[in-house]
Structure 1
Amino acid sequence: MCALCPELDAATRLVRAFAEIVTTRSGHIKDWITAVRAEDLPGLHTFATGLEKDWDVVLQILTTRWNCGPVEGRVSHIKMIKRQMFGRARLPMLRKRVLLTALAS
């Protein structure tokens, strides 16, 4: 497929390169953005523009080992419990269910 469609080949190459940058935290994001600008891929251009708008955040993500993954996971878990209760119970019941599930995991 990639051999038949140069745009698909370029998109595949750039997405894989971005995944490598994020996974290894190599920080060569400026070079990647330059490579994206050289291709005719509007979707990736928009993504690159968004990265440039939030440049300080992007640098922090790529240069520090800290992340908020565990906290976001817990927040998502609490929201799921709240949805399961369908608004039938108030805060004391929600608190009890959150604490009980936290102990079980």
Structure 2
Amino acid sequence: MLADVRSPEPSHAHEHIRSPGSMLQTRQTSDLPSWIGEGSGSALPGLAGFTKGPAADLNAVTFGFASDWSSGVAEDRICDLEMLKRLMYGRPSLPLLRKRVLLP
């Protein structure tokens, strides 16, 4: 009985949010403008807001989908350094940081 009163909006939002993952795996950028158009025309405010980001810089998003380059390693190292910085808050900064980074 609950299935009859459920709204189809969550499943539509779920499908729309998951579809860029398949586009990214197949590196298919031709579907990206239609995906953005669908999302911005949606009645769901969260979905319309979600597609505003990629629509603002479509060229960069398209290049990111089609490119083989990844900044994952650099981002990982930056996160490690930020965590170390937070752990060492209030302690002598440069000498201790140098030891923690260079001699892990």
Normalised TM-score (structure 1):
0.82
Query: What is the Cα-based RMSD across aligned positions, in Å?
Result: 2.0
Structure 1 pair 2–29 and aligned structure 2 pair: CA distance change class (3 A) = farther
4+ residue runs of structure 1 moved beyond 2 angstroms?
1-4, 22-25
Unaligned runs of 5+ in 2: none
Question: What's the CA shift string for 1:64-104, capped at 9, x where partnerless?
Answer: 11121110110110111111112312212201111122xxx
Q: Structure 1 vs Structure 2: percent identity of aligned residues?
A: 35
Q: TM-score, normalised by structure 2?
A: 0.82
Of residues 56, 62, 67 in structure 2, which corresponds to 1:53? Answer: 56
- Separation of aligned partners in 2, 1:22 and 1:82: 34
Query: In the alignment, which of 2, 7, 28 is matched to residue 5 of structure 1?
Result: 7
2:44 to 41, 47, 54: 41
Q: CA-to-partner distance for each residue in 1:15-62, whole Å, 9 max, x for gaps? A: 121221233322121121122234312111112122111222212211
Give unpaired runs (5+ residues) of structure 1.
Answer: none
